[in-house]
C-alpha cells in the first residue's frame, strides 16, 4: 500500500497554525514588555505597523507565518492533484514529506536565528521539492 500523500500536507497545515500561535504569543509578550495598550491602539492597525516597534525576533515569527500562507498553498494544490490522479510511487510521498519538513525547519530557522544564506538554502531545497512535485502532478494528469 502506498503511503498517503495527504499526510505531509496535514502536518504542514497544523504546523502553520502552531506558527500562528507562536507569533501571537510572542507579539502579546512584546506588547506587554513595551507597555503597548491594545485598547488604546488606533483603529485599522496592521502587523506591518509593528516593524520597528517590536523587536525583530518577535516580528520574524509573524513573517514566517505569512510565508507559510504563501508558497505552501501551491504545495496543497499539488498534493491534492497527485492524490486525485492516484497511483503515485512512494518516492513522491517522500518528496512531499521532504517539502513539509524543510518548511518546518525553515520556520524554526527564520523565527530564531534568521541568517539569510542558510534560510535561503533551506527555502531553495524546499522549492526544488515542490517543483519536482508539481512536474510530477502535470505528468500524472496528462498521462
**Which of 99, 100, 120, 98 is CA-nearest to residue 109?**
120
Predicted confidence (pLDDT) at residue 1 exceeds the cutoff of 60? no
Rounded average pLDDT over 15-34 = 94
Three state DSSP letters for 6-18: HHHHHHHHHHHHH
Read off the C-alpha cell for 57: 525576533
Q: For the whole model, what pTM was predicted?
A: 0.92
Please report the domains of the chain, with CATH numbers, ordered by start residue. 6-142 (1.20.120.550)
How confident is the model over 43-84, as pLDDT tens digits?
A: 876 766 777 788 999 999 999 999 999 999 999 999 999 999
Q: What share of the chain is helix, strand, coil (3-state, %, to 5)?
A: 80, 0, 20
> Residues of the chain with pLDDT > 70: what percent?
95
Three state DSSP letters for 24-42: HHHHHHHHHHHCCCHHHCC
Amino acid at each position: 500500500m502506498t503511503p498517503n500523500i495527504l499526510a505531509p500536507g496535514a502536518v504542514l497545515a497544523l504546523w502553520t497554525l502552531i506558527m500562528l500561535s507562536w507569533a501571537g504569543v510572542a507579539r502579546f509578550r512584546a506588547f506587554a514588555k513595551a507597555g503597548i495598550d491594545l485598547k488604546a491602539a488606533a483603529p485599522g492597525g496592521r502587523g506591518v505597523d509593528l516593524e520597528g516597534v517590536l523587536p525583530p525576533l518577535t516580528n520574524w515569527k509573524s513573517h514566517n507565518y505569512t510565508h507559510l500562507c504563501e508558497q505552501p498553498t501551491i504545495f496543497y494544490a499539488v498534493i491534492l492533484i497527485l492524490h486525485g490522479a492516484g497511483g503515485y510511487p512512494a518516492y513522491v510521498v517522500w518528496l512531499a514529506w521532504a517539502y513539509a519538513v524543510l518548511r518546518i525547519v525553515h520556520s524554526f530557522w527564520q523565527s530564531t536565528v534568521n541568517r539569510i544564506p542558510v534560510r535561503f538554502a533551506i527555502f531553495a531545497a524546499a522549492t526544488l521539492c515542490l517543483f519536482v512535485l508539481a512536474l510530477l502532478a502535470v505528468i500524472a494528469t496528462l498521462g
